[in-house]
Structure 1
């Protein structure tokens, strides 16, 4: 059995994508279970939720979310209304704990801001209807999200995943009741601003994640990422905040369960 700290939370990973990278996912999940890990297998498109529920629903420590990311409006994708209908049908059949990941991305050419915002708004309405929190993807869209957060309330709040935004968005998101989840980029030497921001965040609003199979932390960069790399993120994050590893693990676990219950 691999030696890892117990009770680590990975709030955001993509098991089907990990499997496509050649990782034996059942073995991975068994190791996670042996170390009392827990987390959310995150949706990427309208069609994946039912398949993931069948594939991973037998693991009680793996929660599921469903959502359509901003890539859902790129050229060649199905009409938005059709995608939303499919998502709704799959949500009815599963026990999703959140709507996500959904959001805005100005880094890649996924489609117009108007179309991305339309898809995001529609899924936020689904979240309200189903009384579920949201999991936001934000890539170079701070100003849009600041406007969004200022203009509406959220009955179940949510998470900004793999947070790489600025301090203004961070403070507003926390004021609105959101959690900020930090991933492998927190460990990269170039991200001094992110590291400084992380140290300022209220302990009760922090989550940690791998976003695997992407964004492997130091010293695993260049390899396929998995939830087992959470140890590197936790150790780095604990050192940044000047606290014991076990204390950070307990705090993130408390935060995660509060997010699920909120």
Structure 2
């Protein structure tokens, strides 16, 4: 376990189900572990319909958990109207605080670009209609992500999850008012372009995440990840940016509260009952 952070911080993107959580007891145990490291709240994110249903329900089990729902771009080869209806219904639930992760992924070839583009455009429209942030997955697709956001018109709030661009791309995103969230790779010493981007992003447009169970930060790269590990990433970011750890944690939590309106979300334990 890392040393407890001097101020609490939000893990802006994790996958509790993929970390092994199956029920409310597992979720609470995982959040207790995170809390011991100073990570007081998390957003658990879906990548398919089953994960979306689970994330929405899990957000009702523990007040420290919120959810985001969408169909991941690599899973959009078959994305039916019935699938869209499920995602839209879940996206309107009060503890679902974002539409995501959606976007484009040109690294894998599980879904053709045309299907990914159509699904991304639909998720953009959904985020606008439900009035919630759009959480973007962008892998090797910077130009087309920008092109589609420009053509469709960006939602009020756009978050680039696990930001993977360089300083130039970060400047373009910041100029558009987008929020950039950094995961474990920013701690890798061979990631100089990414670290330059993280040093540049102004307060108010910076988040931190684990993307657990993937992308474990240094010094445990390659091992299983969990929300408590965001403490390692945050400390590294503070050193990189030359700021106090407590100050950075407070700034990031303030940004997360504003971006996802976490303080406005109230518990609704009836949601889980409706989804069963």
Aligned partners of 2:89 and 2:152: how far apart in 1? Answer: 26
Give the secondary-structure state (helix, strand or coil) at the position aligned to 2:225. coil
Deviates more, 1:242-251 or 1:162-171: 162-171
Which residue number corresponds to residue 113 of structure 1?
113
Aligned partners of 1:92 and 1:208: how far apart in 2? Answer: 25
Conserved? CA contact 1:41–1:65, under 8 Å: yes
Deviation at 1:148?
A: 2.4
Find out whether 1:10 has 2:5 as its counterpart.
no
Conserved? CA contact 1:157–1:176, under 8 Å: no
> Alignment RMSD, CA only?
2.3
Find out whether 1:223 has 2:226 as its counterpart.
no
Aligned partners of 1:112 and 1:2: how far apart in 2? Answer: 41
Find out whether 1:154 has 2:154 as its counterpart.
yes
Aligned partners of 2:205 and 2:92: how far apart in 1? Answer: 30
- The equivalent position to 2:31 in structure 1, one of 18, 29, 32, is 29
Change (3 A) 1:61 1:156: farther
Stretches of structure 2 that go unaligned for 5 or more consecutive residues are 263-276
Deviations 1:163-196 (CA, angstroms, capped at 9, x unpaired): 0023343223222221000100001111011111
Which residue number corresponds to residue 184 of structure 2?
184
TM-score after normalising by structure 2: 0.85
Aligned partners of 2:93 and 2:161: how far apart in 1? Answer: 25
Aligned partners of 1:2 and 1:198: how far apart in 2? Answer: 22
Deviation at 1:54?
A: 2.8
Query: 1 or 2 for the larger relative contact order (CA 8 Å, sep ≥6)?
Result: 2
Deviation at 1:220?
A: 1.1
Find out whether 1:59 has 2:62 as its counterpart.
yes
Conserved? CA contact 1:47–1:87, under 8 Å: no
Structure 1 residues 117-136: aligned runs within 5 Å:
117-136=117-136
Change (3 A) 1:133 1:79: closer
Structure 1 residues 166-205: aligned runs within 5 Å:
166-205=166-205
Deviation at 1:20?
A: 6.4
Conserved? CA contact 2:167–2:200, under 8 Å: no
Aligned partners of 1:141 and 1:57: how far apart in 2? Answer: 34
- The equivalent position to 2:72 in structure 1, one of 69, 74, 85, is 69
Aligned partners of 1:181 and 1:159: how far apart in 2? Answer: 7
Deviation at 1:152?
A: 4.0
Deviation at 1:108?
A: 0.6
Which residue number corresponds to residue 38 of structure 1?
41
Which residue number corresponds to residue 144 of structure 2?
144
Conserved? CA contact 2:11–2:42, under 8 Å: yes
Change (3 A) 1:141 1:131: same
